[in-house]
């Protein structure tokens, strides 16, 4: 008869492994996708008609399947999108081909000209995710810059440093007016 080899008692190893696993699960960070923050407008009441939006109040941004941009039917470049969106929404010279403005009484700001402009973003089903995010970032950057400029003038601080009532006032003066259509097939243009 052969000699028996001594065995190791490994019952405590499974306990230690479980404790290490539990420790790493508790202290580790799990990256979660944040998404793009957008506040949807409230639904229209059933008995109310859809509002009539004038063509001059819409800035159409189209992205085709080859990631090319069109601004109101003209070929555009991503580097120009932020400035074009700011010019459209701000309409500083009150031009007739840019959006109308309405006078509103806004608490903490007084009477303000508020743009009726809407940016209509239309993507092709083949648009790359990177281009989609880049376009969203440029449009958001335009609104953030406009809000920062107004908050510097009215309150002497950046928008991010404002109190909640001050930020709400700036939000009313410069609303996020981005409308996204369901992706469709947009003609590929060179």
Residue predicted with more confidence, 188 or 89: 89
pLDDT one-digit tens code per residue, 142-173: 999 999 999 999 999 999 999 999 999 999 99
Residue 189 clears pLDDT 50, i.e. is over it: no
| SS3 call for 50 | coil
Say what the pLDDT of residue 34 is: 63
Structure tokens at 93: 């010279």
Of 181 and 112, which is predicted with more confidence? 112
pLDDT above 70 coverage of the chain, percent: 85
Nearest CA to 88 out of 121, 122, 123 is that of: 121
The model's pLDDT over 85-120, given as tens digits with 9 standing for 90+, comes to: 999 998 888 888 888 998 999 988 999 999 888 888
- pLDDT over threshold 70, residue 8: yes
The residue ranking higher by pLDDT, 101 or 9, is 101
pLDDT exceeding 90 applies to what percent of the chain?
A: 32
Domain ranges in the chain are 56-179
> Which of 30-44, 49-63, 73-87 shows the lowest mean pLDDT across its residues?
30-44
Contact 75, 66 (CB under 8 A): no
- How distant, in Å, are the alpha carbons of 84, 146, 162 from that of 79? 10, 17, 29
Residue 182 has pLDDT above 90, yes or no: no
């Amino acid at each position: 008869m052969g000699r028996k080899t001594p065995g190791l008692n490994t019952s405590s190893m499974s306990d230690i492994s479980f404790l290490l696993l539990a420790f790493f699960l508790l202290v580790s960070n799990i990256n979660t996708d944040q998404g793009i923050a957008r506040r949807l407008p409230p639904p229209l009441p059933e008995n109310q008609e859809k509002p009539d939006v004038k063509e001059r109040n819409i800035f159409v941004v189209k992205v085709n399947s080859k990631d090319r941009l069109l601004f109101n039917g003209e070929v555009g470049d991503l580097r120009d999108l932020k400035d074009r969106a700011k010019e459209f929404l701000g309409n500083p010279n009150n031009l007739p081909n840019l959006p109308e403005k309405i006078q509103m009484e806004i608490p903490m700001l007084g009477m303000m000209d508020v743009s009726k402009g809407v940016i209509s973003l239309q993507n092709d089903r083949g648009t790359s995710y990177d281009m989609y995010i880049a376009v969203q970032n440029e449009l958001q950057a335009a609104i953030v810059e406009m809000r920062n400029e107004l908050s510097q003038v009215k309150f002497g601080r950046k928008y991010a440093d404002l109190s909640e009532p001050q930020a709400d006032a700036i939000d009313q003066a410069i609303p996020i007016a981005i409308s996204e259509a369901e992706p469709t097939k947009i003609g590929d243009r060179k």
